[in-house]
Amino acid sequence: MMRYPTLDITPLKNLANMSLGKEELGPDEQTQIRAHQVDRGSGETMDLRRLEERVKEMKSLHRELLDDPDYELEKPAFGITKDLDRIEGRLSELLHKGLKASRMPDEALDDKDFWQYLVMKYFWWLVVWRHHTAQPENRKQFKEGGKYLRYLNHEKPHISVLARMYIRADLALDEDGSYELAWRGRAATDLWQSHLIPVDTGRTPVLVRAILRRQASQPLATDSLRECAKDIKRSNTNVVPASWTDEDADDYVDHHWDKHL
C-alpha cells in the first residue's frame, strides 16, 4: 500500500470554472488544489518528483513539436494544421514513464480522484491546449458553456485526456521498450478514441500494436477504418489473441485490412 493524493469532483468543477480563460494555473490555483487535496491509502507517500521532471520535459517537447513540420496535417477545410493527436501520442510516452517511475500504486491507477488531482496539479496547460487553444473557434471547449469537464474528470477513459494518454502509451509499448506506435500514425484521433481504447480490441496489446502498424503503413480512410474495426471486433469473439505473437496478430489484421482497401 502507498499514500497518494486525490481531488474530488466538486473542487475540480469549482476550480476549473474559475480558471476558464487561463492557459496555465498560477500560485493561487495551486494553493486551492493543495487546500482540497485528500490523501488516500496508507504507508509511504507516493513521490511525484519523477513525474514533475517528466512534466518539464513534456512542456519542452511540446514547444518543439509545435514548430516541427513533421507534425502538421493538410486538411481541405482548414489548410495546414497541427496534428494534435500525434503530438498527444508523442507526449504520452513521458506521462507513462513519469508515472511508472513514481511507482504509482494499483489503487491510484483505479481511483478517478487521483487522475483528477494530476490533471489539475500538473496538466491544465496540456488539456486546455488540446481542446481549446489549438482548436478552431467552433470546437473550443474551455469557455462558459463548453464541455470541458469531460476532458478533466475520469468518467470516460477514452475522453479524459490523461487517462487516454496513459492507456495509449501502455498499449503501444512493445517488447523492445519502444513507444513509437503511440505516434507513428497520423490523424489517429478516431482510431484511438473510437476503435481501440473504449472497445474490447483495446484489451489486447499485441492486437492493438498490429492495427497501429498497419494503419501507419497503409492508412484507411475514416469510413473504411470504421468498417474494418467493426469486422475485427466481431471476429474477436472467435479467437484468443492474448497468446499471439506479433506475426500472428499481423496476419489476423492483414486479413481484415485487405478487404477494406
| Domain residue spans of the chain | 4-187, 199-261
Mean pLDDT of 164-181: 97
From the CB of residue 156, how many other CB atoms can be counted at a distance below 10 Å? 14
* Residue 146 pLDDT grade (very low, low, confident, very high; cuts 50, 70, 90): very high
Range list of β-strands (E), the chain: 4-6, 38-40, 72-75, 79-82
DSSP state of 145: T
Rg of the Cα atoms in the chain = 19
pLDDT at residue 79 in the model: 81
Q: Report the alpha-carbon distance of residue 97 to residue 119 in Å, rounded.
A: 16
pTM of the model: 0.96
Question: What does the buried/exposed string (b/e) look like for 89-127 if buried means 16 or more CB atoms within 10 Å of the residue's CB?
Answer: bbbbbbbbbbbbebebbeebeebbbbbbbbbbbbbbbbb
pLDDT at residue 133 in the model: 96
pLDDT at 42 over 90: yes
* Start-to-end C-alpha separation, the chain: 50
pLDDT at 119 over 80: yes
| Phi-psi group of 21: left, alpha or beta (phi > 0 → left; psi -120 to 50 → alpha; rest → beta) | left
